[in-house]
Amino acid sequence: MNTVEGNEIVYGLLMRGNLLLESDDPAQAAVVLERALAEEPRKGSILEALGRAEYSCARYREASGRFRDALEVDPTNDYAHHCLGLCCLKMKRNREAGGHFKIAWYLSPNEMYREKASRFGA
């Protein structure tokens, strides 16, 4: 398989995973997105989508790892900071969550991020 074909396959898996997330099937989305991640292990969009799927399956520890990996790829990903903050809340790490909400708000000042940053003491 050449690079173009490989990229098309990975893109197709990412799109399919996102559609499964939108249709409220996060478990199946995670399966598809894990296949995409095996092909492109440092792709931020795949890491973020897989993190969302794992979060929706209440796999908060795994999801937080995906969002951390996405932030290694792109430290300015405000949505990954926001999602990591949500994972931290689920794992009762409110102070850490507040820090990620604050960073998300700093990177992209919007009401949702501001509210969470102020609510969790950041």
Which amino acid, one-letter code, is at 18? N
- What global pTM score does this model have? 0.91
| CB-based burial label for 16 (10 Å; 0-12, 13-18, 19+) | middle
E strand or H helix that includes residue 105? helix 94-107
| In contact, 21 and 51? CB cutoff 8 Å | no
Q: What is the pLDDT of residues 41-86, one digit of tens each?
A: 999 999 999 999 999 999 999 999 999 999 999 999 999 999 999 9
Helix %, strand %, coil % of the chain (to 5): 80, 0, 20
Q: What is the pLDDT of residue 1?
A: 52
pLDDT of residue 122: 52
Domains of the chain in sequence order: 1-74 (1.25.40.10), 76-122 (no CATH)
| Res. 6: pLDDT tops 80 | no
- Whether 29 and 21 have beta carbons less than 8 Å apart is answered as yes
* HEC sequence for 6-20: HHHHHHHHHHHHHHH
